[in-house]
Amino acid sequence: MKIIKILFLTLFINVFGQTNADNQVATYNFPKVRSSITMPVTIPLSEISNMINASVKELIYQDDSYTDNNNDQFKVKVWKTRPIRLVGGTSQNLLIEVPLKIWAEKGIGTLGVYSYQNTTFETVMSFNTSLNFQNNWTITTNTKPNGFRWVTKPVLDYGKIQIPITSLVEKSLVEQQEKFCKTIDQQMATQLNFQQYAVMAWNVFSNPFNISEEYNTWLKVTPINVNITPLKFYANQINTNLGIDVFSETFTGSKPESSQPIKSAANFSFIPVLGDKFLLQTTANVPFTEATNIARNMFLNKEYDVRGSSVKIKDIRVYGVDDRVMIEAETEGYVNGKAFISGIPVYDDTKKKIVLSNTKFNLRTANILQKTATLLFKGKIVKMIEDEYGIPTQDLENNSRKSIEEAFNKEYYKGMKMSGKVFDLKPSKILMNPSGITAVIDTNATLKLILNGI
C-alpha cells in the first residue's frame, strides 16, 4: 500500500507551487510561511479486500492423511471460490466473508479395511475484524471467527447409505478458522504499515527542489506535524480526515541546504474533528523592476496642470526604503525637480490591487520660488498616486485559482483521484523585501482524496 507516500508527494509537489522571483536578484529568501491542510480521505473497502485476496491463496487448507487426527480416515481440501468480501461494521470493525469450496473423503470400515467415498460442498466462513490505527503509522487488527453458513451440506453417498459428515467437517474448519484469523492479522500488519512510506515522503522533501530554472527559484517544504481523526466505517468505505501542518519556504539563487534525513516518522496526533475547509498560504513576489514598469506605463510623459501651467513627469521609478514603497518622480515644467511619494503597501480588495497607504511627500527642487507651489503640487500628485497607482493582482488571483483547482482535480497516479475547489483566494499580508514586494496569498479551499485501484 503506497497511500501515505503518494499522498505526501501529491500534496507537496502540486499544492505549494509559488510564483517566481525576479531573475535579476542574486539571492533572497522569502518569508517562511506556515500552512495547514485538511483533507478528507476515503478508502473503499475494495482496496483492503484486494490486499487480503492477494495474500490468501486459492487453496486455503489441505489434509492429505487418513491416519492423522487419531486415525480419522478423513481427507479434506478447502478452496476460496470467489473473492473475499468486506463490509464495514458500526464499531470500527470489518465483517469478512470467505466463500469456500470443500472436498472431503471419508473411509468407512473396520480392522483396517475401509471403503472410501468423497463429496464436494460449499460454505461461507465469516470473521469479525476490529482495526486500530496506531499513531506510529501502523494498523493493528484483531480478527475473530464469526461462524459458518452452509451453502450445500457435506454428505457421503454410498448408494443406499448416505452419511452426513457435517460435524466432522465443522470440527476441522473451526480449527482452521482460528488459524486463518492469525493469518489475516499477520497480513494486515505487514501490508498496512505506513511507517516506511511516511519516512520516505518526509525525506524526499528534506531536499529543496527547483520550481523555476528560468528564475533559479527553489521550494522547500517541511512538514511540522500530522493530525488524523478516528476512522469511520461505512458499508463500503473507510473515512478519515488528515490534517498536515507545514512550513513552505521559497529561495532564489543558490540551492539551500537540505534538512537532515529522518529514520523514523514522528508519531501523529489523533484529533476528534478537523474542518472540511482549510487555509493554504503561499507567497508571490513582485520585483521593483515590474513595479517601476507599471508606474511608467501609467504616468510617464503625462502632464498635469498646476496654477495654469503644466508639470510633466519625465521619469519615474519604484524602490523600497525600510517598510515603505518609494515612488521617485522626476518632473519638468512649472515644478522642476524630483518628487518622492512613499507609502506602506496594502491590498485593496475593491480595486484588486496592491496600493499605498499612509503616504508621505517630499519635493527636491533647485528653484526656491517653486517651493511655494509645493502644497498644490503635493495635493495633485499624491492624490494621483493614491487613486491611480497600484499593482494589479486580478490576473495573479485568477491564474492562482485556476492552477490550484487544476492541481486539485486530477488523477496523478492510477487509482488516486483528487477532487478540490477554491472558495476564496486573495493576498492578505504585503511584505517588503530587498528586491520587491512579497504578497502572502491566502487560499480557502476544500480537497478530497479517494483511493481506488492502487
3-state helix, strand, coil split of the chain in percent (to 5) is 25, 50, 25
Rg (CA), the chain: 36
Handedness of CA 48, 54, 59, 63 (dihedral sign): negative
- φ, ψ dihedrals at 378, nearest 5°: -60, -45
In a domain, 236, yes or no: no
**Alpha carbon separation from 236 to 45, 78, 162 (Å, rounded):** 5, 27, 42
Angle between helices 394-408 and 3-15 (to 10 degrees): 170
237: cell is 468505505
In a domain, 56, yes or no: yes
CA atoms within 13 A on the CB side of 148: 22
Length of the chain in terms of residues written: 454
pTM, two decimals, is 0.60
In a domain, 62, yes or no: yes
Distance CA 100, CA 59 (A): 10
In a domain, 176, yes or no: yes
In a domain, 102, yes or no: yes
In a domain, 52, yes or no: yes
Distance CA 375, CA 386 (A): 16
Range of the domain at 183: 46-191
pLDDT of residue 318: 95
Q: What is the DSSP string of 227-278?
A: EEPPPEE-SSEEEEEEEEEEEEEEEESSPPPPPPP-SSPPPPEE-S---S-E
Q: What is the pLDDT of residues 136-149, one digit of tens each?
A: 888 888 999 998 88
Burial degree of 169 (CB within 10 A; 0-12, 13-18, 19+): buried
Confidence at 25, pLDDT banded by 50, 70, 90? very low
Burial degree of 94 (CB within 10 A; 0-12, 13-18, 19+): buried
In a domain, 135, yes or no: yes
| Distance from the Cα of residue 433 to its chain's centroid | 30
Looking at 19-161, list the stretches that DSSP marks H as alpha helix, in order from N- to C-terminal side.
45-55, 68-71
Rounded (5°) CA angle 451-95-242: 35
Say if CB 184 and CB 96 are below 8 A apart. Answer: yes
Average pLDDT value over all residues in the chain:
77
In a domain, 64, yes or no: yes
163: cell is 452419511
Q: What is the pLDDT of residues 346-395, one digit of tens each?
A: 999 988 899 999 999 888 876 655 556 666 777 778 888 888 888 888 87
| Distance from the Cα of residue 246 to its chain's centroid | 11
pLDDT of residue 3: 35
287: cell is 520585483
Mean pLDDT for the stretch of residues 399-419: 72
Q: What is the pLDDT of residues 99-121, one digit of tens each?
A: 989 887 777 777 777 777 788 88
In this predicted structure, the answer to whether residue 12 has a pLDDT above a threshold of 70 is: no
- Number of domains the chain contains: 1
Q: Which residues of 14-49 are buried (b: 16+ CB within 10 A; e: fewer)?
A: bbbbbbbbbeebeebebeebebbbbbbbbbbbbbbb
pLDDT of residue 344: 94
